[in-house]
């Protein structure tokens, strides 16, 4: 099922079986003007998240802003929501999320807000309804650490931070 612009709604599905198999996430509009998250295409991994603003927001170069969405979500236990930059905003305007991916924990009940940063040279204006980020809901595996005196050796060892070089690997 699509909205007026042809995008797939996050809570919609093309058939009953798909709808029944989708993870259910409760959502509340804390601002009546908030726009529900939507999948822009049928196989999109992330849902587009929109700004919920009373007035345009000017994001100066090399500055950050906390942008409200007007939405609160309740994730099932064992899941997180990750907020990620939109590639078009990054490419065309150097707008990103400085803490990407941002994590929304399952026990958080406050309004979802997006930290935007303008890495560009020009000011950027965020308007109400602008799609400012993507949200991906993912399963989380909790771990219990086991403190040991040494780790099992591997062929990589302590190599990291570009240790394999820049070119292709034969």
Q: What pLDDT digit, counting tens, does each position of 18-75 carry?
A: 667 889 999 999 999 999 999 999 899 999 999 999 999 999 999 999 999 999 999 9
- Which of 14-28, 35-49, 109-123, 125-139 is predicted least confidently? 14-28
- The pLDDT of residue 166: 79
pLDDT tops 90 at residue 160: no
Domain 25-34+46-139 is in which class? mainly beta
What is the spatial distance between Cα 134 and Cα 166, in angstroms, rounded to a whole number?
30
**Which contacts of 98-102 are long-range, i.e. CB under 8 A and separated by 24 or more positions?**
98/64, 101/136
The pLDDT, as a whole number, for residue 19 is: 63
Residue 58 is encoded by which pair of tokens? 């000017």
Confidence tier at 159 by pLDDT (50, 70, 90): confident
pTM for the complete prediction? Answer: 0.83
Higher pLDDT, 3 or 42: 42
Place of tokens 């699509």: 2
| DSSP 3-state of 97 | coil
36, 52 in Cβ contact below 8 A?
Answer: no
Which residue matches tokens 């403190």?
147
pLDDT class for 83, splitting at 50, 70, 90?
very high
Task: Report pLDDT for 102.
Answer: 96
The CA distance from 20 to 128, in Å, is: 32
Separation between Cα atoms, residue 104 and residue 111, nearest integer Å = 10
pLDDT at 15: 57
Residue 137: which H helix or E strand, with range? strand 131-139
């Amino acid at each position: 099922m699509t909205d007026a612009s042809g995008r797939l709604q996050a809570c919609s599905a093309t058939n009953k079986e798909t709808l029944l198999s989708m993870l259910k996430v409760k959502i509340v509009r804390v601002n009546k003007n908030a726009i529900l998250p939507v999948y822009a295409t049928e196989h999109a991994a992330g849902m587009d998240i929109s700004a919920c603003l009373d007035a345009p927001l000017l994001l100066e170069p090399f500055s950050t802003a906390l942008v409200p969405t007007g939405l609160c979500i309740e994730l099932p236990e064992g899941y997180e929501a990750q907020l990620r930059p939109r590639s078009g905003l990054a490419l065309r305007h150097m707008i990103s999320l400085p803490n990407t991916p941002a994590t929304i924990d399952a026990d958080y009940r406050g309004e979802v807000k997006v930290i935007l940063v303008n890495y560009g040279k020009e000011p950027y204006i965020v308007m109400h309804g602008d799609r400012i980020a993507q949200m991906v809901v993912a399963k989380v595996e909790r771990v219990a650490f086991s403190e040991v005196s040494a780790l099992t050796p591997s062929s990589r060892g302590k190599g990291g931070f570009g240790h394999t070089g820049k070119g292709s690997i034969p």
